Structure 1
């Protein structure tokens, strides 16, 4: 009987291992096919199942000569996924009683004296502010304070009906609030309180002093975007789009987020961040606090896509099951949703999710 039990356990174990290997092979083949069909030079993917990384891989190459393969540690501009880090930083200050979601930003930022905009409105893109002020290159030496003044001067003074309007400006202002309340530069606060606890060893921001740039270069349909047309690195936009990272580091952070690890936030704070607040203009999708949330046939989803010229990215999570995927690309034409759907279908078909 004892031998029979051992044989059964070994058989089950070998079948599980074989199943995982087959799933990984199918994922790799499918993702590489999508990459080549869409002329995506560089792509990286991570999959988290039940709170653990079960698949992580780079695709394509970092250079035109195809001598430097993309790996799980290759750096990309992750674009608006950066907003999730700003949102978590704000919620750290909230849970530590440093500020309140209903505080008006005039309490913290001089350029917004007499403004009725609240922290919560910025987090949910209901401030009434839009992206009239665009990023500029670091060489223009525009300070964060100058950027905030330009935003305030360009804003309508009679905004009464503050409907949802997705805007980088909201999170750039939140970054300034974080600096003011914490007494630290935004980038230093994020590093000390999120990147370091999450062991995001290669992730950081360009801050005008370091030379922290993406290893992957921006493209469209396989062609490198000319330097004059590339999205500039602007420190004022770090809170909304500035994080440089890779799927290895992001998966470390996302594991902690999905499992409600207290090194970043308290249990109740993670939960609060996922509560729907405002309906967006994107169908049945709602803004929570930083996250975009909605219901699907497979359960509740919390997500955030990222997109700037030459880069598309996505974090898609199923909080209840602690499943998630991360996608980074250096292509404006990358079909993020097709890729996410393909990954999900493979994992569900092979009973991995």
Structure 2
């Protein structure tokens, strides 16, 4: 076919120019990602970038498994650590909308034992406080089961509380969300992992979950913990421990910490990006509404003074000049991030399975470098 119309020729030329420009930006982005991986000794990295209502870029670089020299692929799934908290909070908002919960509910009534800071025994600790880490509860006694804070089970239960009044301070606390997992079970009648699968993952068409044995283990990205003293990486098999015996003895409404509502979701970067699009678009994605616009806004609204909402953080130290919403994750050698800008309608997901960057930094160096690289090459230049 010969194109002779000048207008059509101009449109075709513009399309070709745009295509070449976009390819150039992608090539530059990938080159920069490899530079970051070399500088920070990253084992593997899976990323996804969204703009408006679609994923505009995704890629997997490096290794899934060092011992087998197996390359990382986009379909590989990671334990995403604390980004998991937003799935728990989303579940809570669904139950709030169904009239089964209220954010002002007393945590004591919800979990079935007394949840009170002994220094402020008359002050009610609410579900909202637990969701926003303003409950005055801490992880000093651990958080892998509810016995640590149950006065009938642990004589040192009082150590689980800080000195400040509930609602008047902030401390990030995993125990908050492991308790929330049990509340979801009590109010829904479904096991925690199954509730999330049936009410969030399946409706959105996402592959993942909290229950290890429900997933294809060949798709797990091995997580590697870095030892700065020896400069060596060690695999972290406990990240995907099946915990069969604990599950066999499961007690509904008490054993949810086995699945780690606070950090146990396993998912790929591309599926996590689709989930992020749901939050970026106020509770709906691809024609499926998961929570109401009001609930989505409520999750994103700042509660704590540092900007934390209901398992969605508001951060200003990630991309200069941008207030981003989302969450990070750090566990077993993994560093992860899921952040979006609700007004400019872009977002970035990063999952890494090993890096030499200091674990105590928040957000981690490899996350900051990767997010800014993807933003500068694929969002800012558009």
Is the pair's TM-score, using the shorter chain for normalization, greater than 0.5?
A: yes
For 2:84, which of 68, 82, 85 is the aligned residue?
82
SS at structure 1 position matched to 2:262: helix
Alignment partners' CA distance in 2, 1:218 and 1:271: 36
- CA deviation profile, 1:134-184 (whole Å, cap 9, x unmatched): 366xxxxxxx55455368564349863541001111111111111111111
Match of 2:309 among 271, 284, 288: 288
Matched residue, 2:352: 329
Q: How many residues align?
A: 336
CA deviations on 1:323-351 (whole Å, 9 max, x unpaired) are: 00000011253521121122222234522
TM-score (norm 1): 0.86
Matches within 5 A, 1:16-165: 16-65=18-67, 67-112=69-114, 116-134=124-142, 144=145, 146=147, 149=150, 152=157, 154-156=159-161, 160=165, 162-165=168-171
Query: Are 1:135 and 1:232, in contact at CA under 8 Å, matched by a contact in 2?
Result: no
What is the aligned partner in structure 2 of residue 283 from structure 1? none
Q: Does 1:204 align with 2:209?
A: yes
* Alignment gaps of 5+ in structure 1: 137-143, 281-285
> Which of these residues, 330, 338, 342, is aligned with residue 373 of structure 2?
342
User: Which among 300, 308, 317 is matched to residue 274 of structure 1?
Assistant: 300
5+ long unaligned stretches in structure 2: 118-123, 244-255, 358-365
Rounded to whole Å, the distance in 1 between the matches of 2:332 and 2:141 is 17
In the aligned structure 2, how far is the partner of 1:157 from the partner of 1:36?
42
Contact persistence 1:217–1:224 (CA under 8 A):
no
Considering only aligned residues, what root-mean-square deviation do their CA atoms show, in Å? Answer: 2.7
Structure 1 stretches of 4+ moved >6 Å: none
TM-score, reference length from structure 2: 0.80
